[in-house]
């Protein structure tokens, strides 16, 4: 298993609330993450025109960020 943010393989574990495997360093800086469904509802606000591939990439980027969903939306 490897850290989904930095790629480290030492002391990596899955954090259910953060929805990914992380090393201790990245876990410390990563807040709890919302589900894909919740993210789509908040980020896209009902915009059904965005292709699935784009939605998936934005969610993956959000997961790898140190932002809450609200912070991520404000930055992007």
Do residue 52 and residue 39 come from a single domain? yes
pLDDT digit string, tens, across residues 29-67: 999 999 999 999 999 987 778 899 999 999 999 999 999
Residue 58's domain comprises: 32-75
Do residue 26 and residue 43 come from a single domain? no
Q: What does residue 41 show for φ and ψ, rounded to 5 degrees?
A: -60, -45
Total number of domains constituting the chain: 2
Do residue 47 and residue 23 come from a single domain? no
Report how far residue 38's alpha carbon sits from residue 3's, in angstroms, rounded to the nearest whole number: 23
Do residue 5 and residue 40 come from a single domain? no
Q: What is the pLDDT of residue 49?
A: 86
Do residue 49 and residue 20 come from a single domain? no
Q: What is the pLDDT of residue 63?
A: 95
Do residue 49 and residue 22 come from a single domain? no
């Amino acid at each position: 298993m490897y850290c989904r943010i930095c790629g480290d393989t030492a002391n990596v574990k899955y954090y259910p609330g953060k929805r990914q495997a992380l090393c201790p360093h990245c876990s410390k800086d990563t807040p709890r993450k919302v589900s894909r469904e919740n993210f789509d509802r908040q980020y896209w606000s009902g915009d059904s025109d965005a292709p699935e591939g784009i939605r998936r990439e934005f969610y993956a980027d959000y997961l790898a960020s140190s932002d809450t969903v609200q912070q991520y939306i404000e930055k992007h």
